[in-house]
Structure 1
Amino acid sequence: MVDEASPTGPGTPPPGHNTPIVIDEAHNPYRDCIQGLANEPITVVRLLRDAVEALPPGSPLTRLETVTLPEVVSRLVANRPRVAIIAGSPDHPAHLLDRAHALMAAARVWQNGGVPFHFSVPVICDGTAQSNIGQSYSLASRNHTSAAVNINFEGHSYHAAYVLAGCDKSPSAIIAALAAAEVARRARGNQAPVWAVFAPEHVLRGGTVPEGTRRALLDVAEAADAAGHHDLGADLRETLRYILQCSSDEAFAGQLERAVNLDLIKPVAKRRLLDQLAAATCHEDGGICAFNGTGNSSRTMMAALGLTPPELELLTGLPPQEGVAKGIDGLFALFNKPEYSVVSLLAANFANVVRMHGATGSSSNMLLHLPSIMRHAGFDVTIDTYRAIRDATPVPEVFAHSLTEGRDTFALARQFAQGANRGMESLYAVLARLGVPLDLDAPTVTGGTWAARIADLRDHPVDESLGESAVIRARPIRTRSGVEVLDGSFFESCVVKISGLSDDQIAHFDGRVLLVRHYENEHACSADFAAADLMERLRRTESLDAALLGAAVAANGGAAAQGRQAAEDPALFGDLVGQGLLAFAFVIAGQGPLAYGMPEMFAPSQNLRHHRLLEASSILVTDGRYSGVTKGPCLGHMVPEAYQGGGIGYLRDGDALRLDLSAGRLDLLAPAAFRAGRLEPMDPHTDAGRTALFTERWDRMEARRLEIAACNVMDGVSDASRGVVPMAVDRRAKRPYPVPKATKT
């Protein structure tokens, strides 16, 4: 039943819905089972009473007719749309405004003749979980959330979802859960598919370093310069250019630890500065952090999949009532139209998402989440599918996101609100105008295609008068973009975020030979990065003799004699590292999903990225994950992981790796041949002398798994190339996904 209200405001039924909608399906558990019909109506009445009490007086959304138990029962028996409003936990900063948002959505569902329900799921904050055991639970939380949402959605027989989508893993988890429900319903044959609308949480406004704290940090930088540690002084000044977010706090933490180890400040001063930074970081309204990490990459993914109404795509606070009403109205317009179901939208838009992921320089984590979503939807999608689409239809980078130049996601959202861009519609229009082959006939939750949505944007996709302040650019920033998938002599696949590398870095590291330092956990690696005697530790790496150093310097374009001399000359050694002629691969193994839950290696990657000497010379390699905000040369998601006997677990200190970005390869070089000047790839499994070393490491990996609660150890999951999904999901993903033929842009 719909109330009488203004024909243009909230309270108006969606176009064509003058009569209540009934879902067309044979099965109705609320008609056929008295228990649900007896249990659930009281939850609906309480939810709507809360809406009337909490929403502003006089709001059109509070004009609700006949909110009674008999009316709820009547709607359930009639099979009116049962809509689950899915929110997150209030201990996550992104979800601080969920209650008011959920109540607006519930009221509009009722006004449109449906039956609203509300539930929330735990959402782990990856920032909070960084550098502690929480990261071993983070990826597991995605699979648990999928299972929990699916259980609730199926157990209470909902038809559709209005999702208050947060950051980290939860958006991917919820999409996967809804897709899995639809696949199961199709198998049952007597139920309608699943429909959904996703409303991404608002963007968190970045903080500002307090003036006193800024002065104190500059004092540390000056002290570093005075003591001859100009790299640290420059690093601190560079980090002060960033917006204050938890990601920049992590960089400050690493740099201040270096300052402590160099005896430039006392530990108590470090603690005081970090506390001051922490207290100034987050705006009280919360939101998704403004860097282009997994949270905002998930926003991009949801919008590119066609799951997000344009009114709700880029918010800076609680959405207006009109926006929520349009989102719910749009959802109701999809009912009984299977071509707009969740699985249908995934199938139609997945290749578009791969292109958008590249064009926007989004998170490397998405190369885990995209296969997971599609495998839950029944499609046999792997990282190779991603690579095939990327190779067939390359895209330029058109997203000028920057944390130092005023172009973070909060700035993007403000430009969106001002009409300077239309978010995902502008991105589709930009790429289409540049000749990138997109499926513009793919459907979206607006009830129209991308072609219809961008028809008026072909000539002017964005406001170019913004100039350098624009986040979305009508002209490419560069031709190479996104995340690339590599293979090599000791593994099947890994990923590297090309968008996190400058053009100079790409050129510098292409063909670079790097010497291995092997670690079994991130903490030991980060400790080395912060050490006062870092260069000496590197120089004393096991197996680094004069012959090896000479071969490494020669392979990187220097004089072999200098490399040999550096074995005994610490100053020369440091100079060669600074020039990049001596380069290192910091390998952190035993971090894969089976071994340790696949934690993010964000802390060591930040410490590398914000360490001037190391950034110029070295890379990180891991079977763990990397955050979307990771910059610099970081290779992760390596398959097979060390715990499964992958070659990364057989590497040892002093091994030589060659990174060939042009060919998409990372190879281990045969030691004897390399010392003789030949670059011959080898598989470390063929070296019998490494077997005992690996066995010792595997025993330590097995013991380390005990640190994770047994209920969250990731046994029985696929590898990273297949999305780290439960094996039952992996086995059922049999539908082939078509890969487009190669097309020149």
Structure 2
Amino acid sequence: MRSDTVTKGKQQAPHRSLFNALGLTEEEMNRPLVGIVCSYNEIVPGHMNLDKIANAVKQGVAMAGGTPIMFPAIAVCDGIAMGHIGMKYSLVTRDLIADSTEAMAMAHQFDALVMIPNCDKNVPGLLMAAARINVPTVFVSGGPMLAGHVKGQKRSLSSMFEAVGANAAGTMSDADLCEFENKVCPTCGSCSGMYTANSMNCLTEVLGMGLRGNGTIPAVYSERIRLAKHAGMKVMELLEKNIRPRDIMTKEAILNALTVDMALGCSTNSMLHLPAIAHEVGMDFEIDFANGISEKTPNLCHLAPAGPTYMEDLNEAGGVYAVMAELNKKGLLHTECMTVTGKTVGENIEGVVNKDPEVIRPIDNPYTPTGGLAVLKGNLAPDGSVVKRSAVVDEMLVHEGPARVFDCEEDAIAAIKGGKIVAGDVVVIRYEGPKGGPGMREMLNPTSAIAGMGLGSSVALITDGRFSGASRGASIGHVSPEAAVGGPIALVEEGDLIQIDIPNLSIHLDVSDEELAKRKENWTPREPKVTTGYLARYAAMVTSGNRGAILEVPKAK
């Protein structure tokens, strides 16, 4: 066993003395050592139940003959970090999580791992770590929150952000805002819509790294505890069969994830995370893969904020496997891929039934014949940009309007709430990219302000930052190259006409090449917003092309 390096032989007597200090018995040291990587904490609602998940996993490992040993991973709550300097730290934690988990697993020579993430960045961070470490690994998340209920309707966190906007616009009373505040997030778990956390937990199932229900069983269900026990037992089976993450997370598995992403209508952040995971397994991922897959993959789900259904509804309809079974009716999946069940994708979804065609549309009756995400290119985004097409209303799929330009999120929000943005405008928020932010903040506050002001079907928003899965409307993010490196978004001037054509995958600034070249000559790089600490080091990594640079959107060919 791998752990023999620290438990067997006379030379390892000092190591064993330290295991003795931990209270481990000789019998435990003779069993496989299974690292339980748990991101439990008391600040993230999606993680407050992970101690219970970890205990269940440990029971499962022990029942199957292993010795479970827990160590932590960090996690940030994007909702609490939203709208202030904390959001600059959210995305960059993904690489911190991957790096620190790699360090812990390698330093202590675990034979196998069970990863217990839940919210936005620690799911992909731990998937990246699993690929690097490459010992038998199973994922089990903490599960989604139940939807809130306000005035007879299901609600979620995005409803809360939009309620703030509506209150600022004078269309919602303070009393109603307070009711929203107290009811939209009623339980522990990852926020109840198809936001980034739930997107990535569902895609973990598709990648083959989580058991059925990993992405959809609600956090408060006892079924989630049973799933955790099974994950602990299953990792011992994988260890016996020597099935490792790189046997599972192949190029074909990544393409399966992108396909199901399109059907589910996942967060645009998946277009940051799937390339990073692909990078770790040696796959050259280009974001315009998305358009080729989207062309042949119908959008089958409109989960909040794109529609009125929630994760609990998807779970009752049959979950991720039911979506995959629908897609497989047209042969859209690589069914030969191995998974942590010890079976192939095809074997896993055989006989799975779609129990609710209102939640998961049948393959021959989709919401749209194309997928939930699209990559737009043009002179404003020569390396590509990303939009959650499934969350854009029909009247905004093609839009043309004057640019209203802001160099940070705060200035844009002030203008929106101050009534300075009107129907037809295109809000441009720049210098919020990986280097320019630094840290690539989410733009949920601006999109929510637009929706709250009643402009969601008439105003577009373009940024070199990124969008939350909770964002809806014509929100185009990840614009690359970003403003901080002289991308065309840095050259947009107030009133420039911007043309958006999502069906034709185009985003165009109506300015001549000659004029853009002239503006580029006169462009002056901005001074860094952060000069010390981790954010400064991260921004330097992006610039130098080191591993942190994979946070940038890959170029579209």
**Normalized against structure 1, the TM-score is what?**
0.68
Structure 2 SS opposite 1:94: coil
Shift of 1:534: 4.5
Cα deviation digits, residues 536-590 of structure 1 (max 9, x gap): xxxxxxxxxxxxxxxxxxxxxxxxxxxxxxxxxxxxxxxxx4xxxxx32110000
What is the 5 A alignment of 1:181-580?
181-182=133-134, 194-209=135-150, 243-259=154-170, 270=174, 274-283=177-186, 285-310=187-212, 312-316=214-218, 317=220, 319-320=222-223, 322-338=226-242, 340-347=243-250, 348-390=252-294, 394-402=296-304, 407-413=309-315, 415=316, 420-421=317-318, 423-433=319-329, 435-457=330-352, 461-463=353-355, 466=356, 468=358, 470-471=359-360, 473-474=362-363, 475-491=365-381, 492-506=383-397, 509=398, 512-532=399-419, 534-535=421-422, 577=423
Are 2:159 and 2:184, in contact at CA under 8 Å, matched by a contact in 1?
no
Q: Cα distance 1:662–1:387, how it changes in 2: closer, same or farther (>3 A)?
A: closer
Residues 640 and 302 of structure 1, relative CA distance in 2, 3 Å threshold: same
Which residue, 6, 13, 18 being the options, matches 1:39?
A: 18
Distance (Å, rounded) in 2 between the aligned partners of 1:405 and 1:518: 30
Distance 1:629 1:311 in 2: 22
Counting only pairs closer than 5 Å after superposition, residues 652-663 of structure 1 correspond to structure 2 as 652-663=493-504
> What is the match of residue 704 of structure 1?
529
| Deviation for aligned residue 1:354 | 0.7
Alpha-carbon displacement from aligned partner over 1:232-286 (angstroms, at most 9, x marks no partner): xxxxxxxxx8633322111111121222xxxx89xxx74x654443233322x40
Tell me the distance in 1 between the aligned counterparts of 2:133 and 2:85.
Answer: 31
1:687 maps to what in 2? Answer: 518
SS of equivalent residue, structure 1 residue 705: coil
Give how far 1:619 is off: 0.9
**Cα distance, 1:683–1:503 mapped onto 2, change above 3 Å:** farther
Q: Which residue of 2 aligns with 1:715?
A: 539
Question: Residue 388 of structure 1: CA displacement?
Answer: 4.8
1:446 aligns to what SS in structure 2? coil
**Cα 1:684–1:72 shift into 2, 3 Å:** farther
The alpha-carbon deviation at position 381 of structure 1 amounts to 2.0
Whole-angstrom CA distance in 2 between matches of 1:529 and 1:409: 31
The question of whether the paired residues in 2 share the 8 Å contact of 1:496 and 1:634 is answered with yes
Tell me the SS of whatever aligns to 2:148: coil
RMSD across aligned positions (CA): 2.8
Cα distance change, pair 311–610 in 1 and its aligned pair in 2 (3 A)? closer
Shift of residue 156 of structure 1? 1.3
Structure-2 change in CA distance of 1:684 and 1:453 (3 Å): farther
1:30 to 2:7 alignment: yes
Q: CA deviation at 1:603?
A: 0.8
The answer to whether residue 516 in structure 2 is matched with residue 620 in structure 1 is no
CA-to-aligned-CA distance 1:112-135 (integer Å, 9 cap, x gap): 221111122221111111111111
Separation in 2, partners of 1:527, 1:196: 46
Which range is displaced more, 122-131 or 375-384? 375-384
Distance in 1 separating the partners of 2:313 and 2:239: 35
Distance in 1 separating the partners of 2:484 and 2:420:
31
Relative distance call for 1:362 and 1:683 in structure 2 (3 A) is farther
Could you say what secondary structure the match of 1:517 adopts?
strand
- Between the aligned residues of both structures, percent identity stands at 22
Q: Residue 349 of structure 1 contacts residue 442 of structure 1 at CA under 8 Å; is this kept in 2?
A: yes
Counterpart-to-counterpart distance in 2, 1:684 and 1:30: 68
Alpha-carbon distance between aligned partners in 2 of 1:180 and 1:629, rounded to the nearest angstrom: 30
State the 1:454 CA deviation. 2.2
Q: For 1:482 and 1:683, locate their aligned partners in 2 and report how far apart those are by CA, in whole Å.
A: 35
Q: Cα offset for 1:427? A: 1.4
**Structure 1 residues not aligned, in runs of 5+:** 1-22, 46-67, 183-193, 215-240, 536-576, 578-582, 671-680, 734-738, 740-745
CA contact (8 A) 1:401 1:471 kept: no
Q: Distance in 1 between matches of 2:227 and 2:165?
A: 42
Q: Secondary structure at the match of 1:632?
A: coil
Distance 1:499 1:335 in 2: 40
2:95 pairs, out of 143, 146, 150, with 143
The residue aligned with 1:236 is none
Higher helix share: 1
Kindly indicate whether the alpha-carbon contact (under 8 Å) linking 1:487 and 1:665 is maintained by their aligned counterparts in 2.
yes
Distance 1:382 1:314 in 2: 28
Contact 2:46–2:142 (CA<8 Å) still a contact in 1? yes
User: Greater CA radius of gyration, 1 or 2?
Assistant: 1
Q: 1:322 to 1:291 in 2, by over 3 A?
A: closer
Q: Distance in 1 between matches of 2:283 and 2:306?
A: 40
* Correspondences of 1:98-177 after superposition (within 5 Å): 98-177=50-129
Secondary structure at 1:456 match in 2: coil
Q: Would you say how many aligned residue pairs link Structure 1 and Structure 2?
A: 544
Deviation at 1:34, TM superposition (A): 3.5
The AA in structure 1 aligned to 2:260 is M
Correspondence 1:640-679 to 2 at 5 A: 640-670=481-511
CA contact (8 A) 1:312 1:324 kept: no
Structure 1 residues 302 and 350, CA gap change in structure 2 (3 angstroms): same
Q: Is the 8 A contact 1:203 1:409 kept in 2?
A: yes
Native 8 Å contact 1:395 1:436 kept in 2: no
2:27 maps to 71
Which consecutive residues of structure 2, in runs of 5 or more, have no partner in the other structure?
none
Equivalent residue letter for 2:147: G
Name the SS for the 1:494 alignment partner.
strand
2:290/2:373 contact within 8 Å kept: no
Task: Call closer, same or farther: CA 1:400–1:482 in 2, change over 3 Å.
Answer: closer
1: CA distance, partners of 2:153 / 2:548: 39
Any idea what SS the aligned residue of 1:624 has? coil
Assess, with a 3 A threshold, how the Cα gap between structure 1 residues 602 and 322 changes in structure 2: closer, same or farther: closer
Residues in 1 aligned to 2:104 and 2:158: alpha-carbon distance in whole angstroms: 34
Q: CA deviation at 1:456?
A: 1.8
Aligned counterpart, 1:179: 131
Partner Cα separation in structure 2 for residue 97 and residue 319 of structure 1: 12
Distance 1:473 1:659, change over 3 A: same
CA contact (8 A) 1:85 1:106 kept: no
State how far apart, in whole Å, the 1-side matches of 2:436 and 2:488 are.
14
AA matched with 1:590: Y
Amino acid in the other structure paired with 1:462: N
After TM superposition, the score normalised by the length of structure 2 is 0.90
Alpha-carbon shift at residue 175 of structure 1 (Å): 0.6
Residues 409-462 of structure 1, C-alpha deviation per residue, up to 9 Å, x if partnerless?
A: 12223x1xxxx42x22211210111x14211111111111121122223xxx31
